Each structure stands twice: as structure tokens, then as C-alpha cells.
């Protein structure tokens, strides 16, 4: 347990994790495994691992290695909390000790929340729909696209991803004038309806619905405009954001207490010895 909580082990784990992340950036280049990483980002990790991930085995193997590295860091964080921080709560500055311990414990909750979000709830990105289409969702819900209003230049629709993001977020793209009207039903009964716009998501029955962009099928003449949607639902989202906010506040309080408290007793002793 002492080795797991040592500073040497922490630095070694962080260094290995950074190198592994750098390898992932290299593997994610368009000519290598970009397509597989894209699939990983657009669905729940568990669904990805049980589905298309193994079409390019290096991608899931890299991800499992990343999980192992994060797991090691969790062990280090937990060991440091219970072997070094908790025993020191009664010594020195009690407020600072409690804040430091709570920062570590809440960070554990945040990391575990990240892990839970990979396998819980529902995540579906790049859902393409044309007006009049309906798709089935978990929990007996159905989503229908009633209408699409697109008044901008049609030439911006099928641009490459990075170019499209630039154009759609520029002032030339009329965010308020381009919208999609959607209807959510459960067992045939209407639950909610509304107009989706880019950067203005909707919360419907616990499901976050986001308009990612528009598209036009190249095979259809005359051209029709459809939408690209992202649907995300996770029962732990609220808990995760509360924990993350608490971590930020605790860390700020710890920084304030440390700054106002000046040097610790341990750091003052060598100075006193030198002065004498």
C-alpha cells in the first residue's frame, strides 16, 4: 500500500499515461485509426467494444490499455488518500487536511463517474434523419422529424467536418433561421415537441437532444435537407456535474487556505535551524 501511494509511483504512472495518450493521438490520424476512434466517440463505449471496435483491433487494445492506466491512477489516488491523508487529519492545520482529503475523495467520484458514463444510459451520435422519418429509442420512446427549415446556401451542407464547423459557427451561417421541428412520443402519446437549433439543445424526458448539423443526400434529386442529431441520456449526469462542481470549489478553498496560511510548520523548522 505504501508503494502505491508513493510520489515515485505517482510520477511513473503519470508519465506512462501521458506517453500512452500521445500514442493514441498518433493512432487517431485519418490514415490510421481515425474511423474507429470516431465510432468510439459516437456511441457508448460498451456498445462499441461489443460491436464495431474489433474491426480494427489496435483501437480497442489501445483503449483497454488506457483503462488500465487510469485504473492504476485510481489505485494510487485511493492509496494516497487512505494511507497518507486520513492519518494526518489531526495533525497540523485540520481545515487544510480535511480540504485536501475531500479533494482526493471527490476526484475519485468524478473519475468513477466518467467510467460509469461509458456504459450506462444511451448515446447515439450522427443520427441522420429526413423530414417524415421516425426512429425508435429506448424506454418506449419514438422520435419523429416533422420539418426542416434551411435558408442558408445549400453548398455549405456537405462540407468536410472541420470546414463545416468553421462555416456553421461563423456569422454567415444563420443559426436562428435554420431549425428542425421534432416530436417525441411514448406508446403513441405525444410527450414533447419543439424546434431544434445548432447550439440550442433540448431536454426531453431526461434525453438530451442536440442538432449537430444538416446534410443533403447526394443520391436524391431534387435535393432534400435532413439533420444530424446527437442523443444522450445518462442517469448519473446530474451527480457527475455536482461532484465536478464540488471538486472545483474544494480545490479553490484549499488553494485559498494554503495561500493565507503561509509556509507550513515543517518548512519553517529548517529555516529556524539555519537562523540559530
* Residue 124 DSSP code: E
Q: What are phi and psi of 63, to 5 degrees?
A: -65, -40
Statement to judge: residues 159 and 113 lie in one domain: no
Average pLDDT score over residue span 40-57: 82
Q: Between 238 and 272, where is the model more confident? A: 238
Mean pLDDT of the chain: 78
pLDDT of 124 higher than 90: no
3-state secondary structure of 98: helix
Domain residues for the domain of 105 are 7-120+237-261
pLDDT of 33 higher than 70: yes
Residue 211 CA: distances (Å) to CA of 95, 129, 167: 46, 11, 15
Q: What's CA 143's distance to the chain center, in Å?
A: 24
pLDDT of 121 higher than 80: no
Report the share of the chain in percent with pLDDT over 70: 80
- What residues contact 91, with CB distance under 8 A and at least 6 apart? 97
Of the candidates 38, 42, 108, the one whose C-alpha atom is nearest the C-alpha of residue 76 is: 108
pLDDT at 61: 93
pLDDT confidence of 232, banded at 50, 70, 90?
confident
The pTM of the full predicted model, rounded to 2 decimals, is: 0.60
Statement to judge: residues 219 and 245 lie in one domain: no
Statement to judge: residues 206 and 251 lie in one domain: no
* Structural domain total, the chain: 2
- What residues contact 54, with CB distance under 8 A and at least 6 apart? 60
Residue carrying the nine cell digits 455536482: 242
C-alpha cell of residue 42 = 459516437
Query: What secondary structure does DSSP assign to 14-52, as a single string?
Result: HHHHHHHHHHHHHHTSTTTTHHHHHHHHHB-HHHHHTTG
271 located within any domain:
no
pLDDT at 164: 64
Report the share of the chain in percent with pLDDT over 90: 4
pLDDT tens digits, 255-264: 887 777 655 4
Statement to judge: residues 66 and 165 lie in one domain: no
Statement to judge: residues 112 and 242 lie in one domain: yes
102 located within any domain:
yes
pLDDT tens digits, 103-118: 878 877 777 777 776 7
pLDDT at 272: 41
Amino acid at each position: 500500500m505504501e508503494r502505491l501511494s508513493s510520489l515515485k509511483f505517482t510520477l511513473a504512472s503519470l508519465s506512462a499515461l501521458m506517453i500512452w495518450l500521445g500514442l493514441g493521438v498518433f493512432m487517431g490520424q485519418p490514415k490510421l485509426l481515425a474511423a474507429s476512434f470516431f465510432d468510439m466517440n459516437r456511441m457508448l463505449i460498451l456498445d462499441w467494444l461489443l460491436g464495431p471496435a474489433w474491426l480494427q483491433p489496435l483501437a480497442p487494445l489501445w483503449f483497454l490499455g488506457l483503462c488500465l492506466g487510469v485504473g492504476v491512477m485510481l489505485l494510487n489516488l485511493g492509496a494516497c488518500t487512505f494511507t497518507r491523508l486520513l492519518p494526518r487529519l489531526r495533525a497540523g492545520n485540520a481545515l487544510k487536511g480535511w480540504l485536501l482529503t475531500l479533494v482526493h475523495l471527490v476526484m475519485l467520484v468524478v473519475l468513477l463517474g466518467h467510467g460509469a458514463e461509458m456504459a450506462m444510459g444511451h448515446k447515439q451520435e450522427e443520427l441522420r434523419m429526413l423530414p417524415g422519418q421516425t426512429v425508435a429509442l429506448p424506454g418506449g420512446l419514438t422520435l419523429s422529424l416533422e420539418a426542416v427549415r434551411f435558408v442558408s446556401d445549400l453548398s455549405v451542407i456537405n462540407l468536410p467536418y472541420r470546414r463545416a464547423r468553421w462555416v456553421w459557427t461563423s456569422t454567415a451561417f444563420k443559426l436562428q433561421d435554420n431549425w428542425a421541428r421534432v416530436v417525441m412520443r411514448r406508446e403513441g402519446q405525444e410527450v414533447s415537441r419543439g424546434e431544434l437549433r445548432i447550439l440550442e439543445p433540448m431536454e426531453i424526458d431526461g434525453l438530451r437532444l442536440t442538432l449537430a448539423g444538416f446534410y443533403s443526400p447526394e443520391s436524391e434529386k431534387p435535393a432534400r435537407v435532413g439533420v444530424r442529431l446527437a442523443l444522450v441520456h445518462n442517469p448519473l449526469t446530474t451527480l457527475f456535474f455536482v461532484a465536478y462542481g464540488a471538486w472545483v470549489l474544494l480545490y479553490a478553498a484549499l488553494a485559498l487556505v494554503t495561500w493565507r496560511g503561509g509556509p507550513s510548520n515543517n518548512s519553517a523548522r529548517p529555516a529556524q535551524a539555519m537562523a540559530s
